[in-house]
Structure 1
Amino acid sequence: MILTIKLYTDAATRGNPGPSSAGVLIVTEVGQQQLFYKLPPTSNHHAEFLAAIKGFEAIINLYGTTETILFHSDSKIVISSIEKNYSKSYPEALATLVSLQEQCELVINRWISEKNNKGAHALALQGLHKFYSA
């Protein structure tokens, strides 16, 4: 039985807007999952929301909804939008993210600095390279 899941997400975008990918790092007491996803070409801020959505979808698919999730993001716009339950520019993405979070037992959202999100960042860059290299 897993007690707590740590979720780290980040997005990488080449250009703004441009090709984008998401990095998702899921850490549990028994190990970790390192995932990356191709995102549609978009702005970096929108890609950060999409990365968070991919992270919560992955957790729900892998572990269900009964665990405590500590969600970490270096995107101030994502964390502040969740806290306010408002986003002027990305209301649809925020609604999707909040809906996913509401399915989970307990979610604690936390902004972290870029230097503390290196794992998810590296995965996002890996995805950008894999999906968009010539």
Structure 2
Amino acid sequence: MLKVYTDAATKGYPGPSGIGVYIKNETESFTISKFIGEFSNHEAEFIAVIEALSYCQEFFPNEILSFRSDSKLVVETVEKQFVKNKVFKPYHEKISKMSEVFPYFFIKWIPEKQNHHADQLARKALINRTT
């Protein structure tokens, strides 16, 4: 099972945004720190999950995935399989479709202080504007 932590950092609303993904299994860890352009923080949080799913599809296609995010909006949207805001609907649909290929996909909310690896990666991407 992989533990996948996602986060986003945005300056402004909307504004320049970076995402961070921290993936760990029993023996290794993997990171993504990526500047994604101009988005709202909520959009960037969804994009972080999508980026993490894409990475897992490529490198860990048959793994059980346990995602963790400090974004209540993203976690509740994915858990309830429902979104009211039209802007977030395409993100939700993409996450739903991408997660279907894994044997098991879980997502849970965690406090910000438990998400420091992904937070640092997102902030680094925003500061350095790395892709």
TM-score interval (norm. to shorter):
over 0.9
CA distance in 2, matches of 1:113, 1:36: 20
> Match for residue 83 of structure 2?
87
Counterpart amino acid of 1:15?
Answer: G
Shift of 1:105: 0.9
CA distance in 1, matches of 2:60, 2:102: 10
Picking from 12, 22, 34, the partner of 2:9 is 12
Matched, 1:57 2:80: no
Q: Kindly, what percent of the aligned residue pairs are identical?
A: 34
Picking from 110, 113, 133, the partner of 2:111 is 113
Secondary structure of the 1:104 match is coil
Picking from 34, 37, 49, the partner of 2:34 is 37
Q: Which runs of 5+ in 2 are unaligned?
A: none
Runs (4+) of structure 1 exceeding 6 A deviation are none
Number of positions where the alignment pairs a residue of Structure 1 with one of Structure 2: 128
TM-score (norm 2): 0.94
Matched, 1:21 2:2: no
CA distance in 1, matches of 2:77, 2:32: 24
Q: Which runs of 5+ in 1 are unaligned?
A: none
Aligned-CA RMSD value:
1.0
Q: Which has the higher contact order (CA 8 A, sep 6+)?
A: 2
TM-score (norm 1): 0.92
